[in-house]
């Protein structure tokens, strides 16, 4: 249990492992020249997608009608790059959703191999910058 966490250096190991996982995604974003938030807690990185140019005529499903740019970018990245993300505007009330539309959220609480594959796939975004 948690009473033995210090004995097994659970928290120190966890912080180190998550920093390594986060670095995989952050390095991919830096290679792309995209801005991101570096979290001080939690296991999500927000990526600024304002430089990503999704084709105007890209075929989106009807469920995305009326949704923000972040939803369209998340769909596009999932379909064309093969990486799932989370649209940030979903966390805002309706009158403030536009604040979150320039960000998508990436979780790095995944295994190293999966994150490495995602980082490699994300380089396909170079075509759309």
The 10 Å Cβ neighbour count of residue 104 is 25
Give pLDDT tens digits for 88-98: 999 999 999 99
Give pLDDT tens digits for 49-62: 999 999 989 999 99
Token digits for 46? 């927000």
Q: Mean per-residue pLDDT for 84-109?
A: 96
Are the C-beta atoms of 69 and 49 separated by less than 8 Å?
yes
pLDDT at 41 over 90: no
Q: Mean per-residue pLDDT for 62-78?
A: 95
Sheet holding 44-48, edge to edge: 44-48, 103-107, 86-87
Q: Mean per-residue pLDDT for 102-126?
A: 97
The whole-model pTM stands at 0.92
Token digits for 7? 């004995």
């Amino acid at each position: 249990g948690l009473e033995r966490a210090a004995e097994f250096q659970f928290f120190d190991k966890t912080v180190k492992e998550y920093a390594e996982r986060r670095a995989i995604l952050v390095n991919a974003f830096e290679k792309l020249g995209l801005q991101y938030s570096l979290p001080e807690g939690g296991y999500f990185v927000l990526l600024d997608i304002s430089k990503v140019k999704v084709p105007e005529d890209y075929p989106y499903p009807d469920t995305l009608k009326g949704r923000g740019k972040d939803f369209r970018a998340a769909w596009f990245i999932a379909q064309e790059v093969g990486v799932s993300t989370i649209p940030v505007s979903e966390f805002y009330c309706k009158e403030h959703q536009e604040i979150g539309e320039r960000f998508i959220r990436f979780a790095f609480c995944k295994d190293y191999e999966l994150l490495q594959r995602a980082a490699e796939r994300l380089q396909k975004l170079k075509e759309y910058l």
